[in-house]
Amino acid sequence: MLISKMAAEGGGKEMNEIKTQFTTREGVYKLLTHSEYSRPNRVPFNSQGSNPVKVSFVNVNDQSGNGDRICFNVGRELYFYIYKGVRKAADLSKPIDKRIYKGTQPTCHDFNHLTATAESVSLLVGFSAGQVQLIDPIKKETSKLFNEERLIDKSRVTCVKWVTGSESLFLVSHASGNMYLYNVEHTCGTTAPHYQLLKQGENYSVHTCKSKSTRNPLLKWTVGEGALNEFAFSPDGKFLACVSQDGFLRVFNFDAVELHGTMKSYFGGLLCVCWSPDGKYIVAGGEDDLVTVWSFLDCRVIARGHGHKSWVSVVAFDHYTTSVEESDPMEFSGSDEDFQDQIIHFGRDRANSTQSRLSKRNSTDSRPVSVTYRFGSVGQDTQLCLWDLTEDILFPHLPLSRTRTHTNVMNATSPPAGATIITNTSSNTTNGNNSGANTPGINSLSTALPRSNSLPHSAGTTTANSSNKASGGGGISSGIMDSAIATGVSKFATLSLHDRKERHHEKDHKRNHSMGHISSKSSDKLNLLTKTKTDPAKTLGTLLCPRMEDIPLLEPLICKKIAHERLTVLIFLEDCLVTACQEGFICTWARPGKVGLLSSQNQASSPSGTVV
């Protein structure tokens, strides 16, 4: 009652509308005010002109059972604390390490989880002037500084990550649009590096460093137009997803240095990216205020989510809240009740069991396993959104037999009984030459898709993708990936001149589409494919960027204002989720049933209030 009254009054009461708890089907998530981390003085940071607050976690496996460590940057400062999460209140008076930098600011950081111990951790820190520092905040050592003289790149570091499974290799992206691969054992040299072309492709190139002795950087990637805003390695470390200011998601085979597939934002730059726990889906967010779900196997957009009122700054999958449904292939004709009994309910399975189930889904041909994915997003609108990627969105794409016969769909991957299979009809496909590749869909239900009962497909990818699914694969094996990479590259060949001519009404659609508050005047002029020089408007309605009405539009499970300043962090942990805003406050939200005694007495009385 109080909340609705405040909402009705608007204006002056808006500051009191910040939520300290929210409810999903798993239960109530509660903000633990005593577990808030910030600068020791707890004074809100004047964030104008500073880089986003970022948070990194590592577990050092110490004997006390409290091995979690947290690192965060605020302005020119970098802090390293013991993270007590839902168990105890944060003690801000005793940072393990604190550093204040002059002339440059930390922009991002990443721990090496392989080498972390109670006595030593390796932390990479990227800076606004382009340098990368390797420090040990436990030993309080600064071991190395990379790009110290800024001879490699002078622009801001946008993202830094250790290469999956490596103790010495790390990757750094810059606002210049370049990425560099480093080895901590090598020096950077005293002169600017000379490069030799290794591979070139659709709006990207990779160079090796040309020198007599091995030096950093080992590789230089030039990707897209404008800043490379973020990148993320796939769970198995074999693939790399990059999002750029030109609005493109590009997914590379990291070792082979080859482009696997691309996607274009609805408009504006893409700012953030993440992978599903099984590596089958990628979610990206950015300046179009949307979250976009992209299928790794299909190389295409399968859904968009609209809930934010401003740019989306972080997207992340919740590995701990995944509903996994298994069934015996012999019981395919069983009743719905039989399968309901086999559901593992939300929030009850932990990461290891979820990961094993997802990998089982990748590797087992005969056992149909379906998954509902949970992911979250935070944005400059100060809102947290949670989303579910559910069966009605996933099932049309898991079979992926382009011939659309009942037999082929079932043979590709058999869904559990009672599941609705939605396949596309020929009425609303994106490519003009595609209609012959479709037969009427099976059990097509308009109600199952929020915006459409028809989904775009490319005729040019029919054979490769069908063979992938028919093989029962889904796992990242070399045979499937070879085919998938060829599929991703061949997508550009399907965007023929004939197809583009049929898109003559795209600009009108962009002006008149249903989401009225989204404008199309952003940085679209950057969005050019190098070789084809495709007009940005021409990508709308193609596989790169389907129209809004051509794919499902997800609604958020919850969408809550949780901060005064723009949100810059969202991390899902086993007992909680962690958010941070540009004022420098890192907040811990206890999962249902995980609220400690310390905070439950203080929190139970207030469903809405101001963050302390």
Q: Which amino acid is at 239?
A: F
Label residue 535 by pLDDT band (50, 70, 90). Answer: low
pLDDT over threshold 70, residue 341: no
Instruction: Choose among 333, 546, 349: nearest CA to 452.
Output: 546
Please count the residues of the chain.
612
Range of the domain at 117: 42-176+178-223
- The contacts of residue 49 (CB under 8 Å, 6+ apart) are none
26-38 residue pLDDT tens: 999 999 999 999 9
* Closest to 178 measured CA to CA, from 154, 202, 199: 154
pLDDT of residue 206: 97
pLDDT surpassing 70 at residue 512: no
Q: Is pLDDT at 544 greater than 80 in this prediction?
A: yes
Q: What is the per-residue pLDDT for 369?
A: 58
Q: Which residues contact 251 (CB under 8 A, 6 or more apart)?
A: 239, 240, 241, 242, 259, 260, 261, 262, 282, 296, 299, 488
**165 pLDDT exceeds 90?**
yes
Per-residue model confidence as pLDDT tens digits over 65-80 = 789 999 999 999 999 9
118 vs 417, higher pLDDT = 118
Contacts of 41 (CB under 8 A, 6+ apart): none
Name the one residue in this structure whose structure tokens are 């193609």.
Answer: 542
The confidence score (pLDDT) of residue 371 equals: 74
Is 276 among the domain residues? no
Q: Is 447 among the domain residues? A: no
- Highest mean pLDDT pick, 43-52, 392-401, 584-593: 584-593
Amino acid found at 352: N
DSSP letters along 62-97, please? -TTS--EEEEEEETTEEEEEE--TTTS---TT--SE
**pLDDT for res 11:** 43
pLDDT of 175: 98
Please name the residues in contact with 544: beta carbons below 8 A apart, sequence gap of 6 or more.
Answer: 262, 263, 264, 491, 495
Instruction: Give the per-residue pLDDT at 41.
Output: 86
pLDDT value, residue 8:
40
Q: Do the domain assignments include residue 116?
A: yes
- Residue keyed to tokens 């609604």: 555
| pLDDT for the residue 65 | 72
Q: State the amino acid at position 189 in one-letter form.
A: G
- Considering only residues 261 and 398, tell me which one the structure prediction assigns the higher pLDDT: 261
On whether residue 166 sits in a domain, the answer given is yes
Please give the structure tokens belonging to residue 473.
């694969």
Pick the more confident residue, 522 or 156: 156
Mean pLDDT of the chain: 74
In the prediction, which pLDDT does 595 show?
82
> Looking at residue 396, what is its pLDDT?
65
Domain CATH code at residue 164: 2.130.10.10
Taking only the tens place, the pLDDT of each residue in 301-330 is 999 999 999 999 999 999 998 766 654 433
Q: What's residue 62's pLDDT?
A: 75
Q: Give the pLDDT confidence score for residue 354 in this predicted structure.
A: 53
238 in a structural domain? no
d(CA 41, CA 555): 39
| In a domain? residue 579 | no
Confidence (pLDDT) at 113? 96
Q: Residue 344 is encoded by which pair of tokens? A: 């593992």
Residue bearing the bigger pLDDT, 99 or 510: 99
Domain contains 203: yes
Residue position matching structure tokens 């967010």: 285
Q: What is the mean pLDDT of residues 180-188?
A: 96
Q: What amino acid is encoded at 94 in this protein?
A: K
What pLDDT is stored for residue 442 in this prediction? 33
pLDDT digits (tens, 9 = 90+) for 123-148: 999 999 999 999 999 998 778 999 99
How many domains does the chain divide into? 1
According to the model, what pLDDT value does residue 322 have? 72
| Domain-located, residue 433 | no
DSSP codes of every residue in 493-532: HHS-HHHHHTTTTHHHHHHH-S-TT--S-SSGGG---TTT
More confident residue, 200 or 513: 200
* E-state strands within 537-583: 553-554, 558-561, 567-572, 576-581
Binning pLDDT at 50, 70 and 90, where does residue 355 land? low
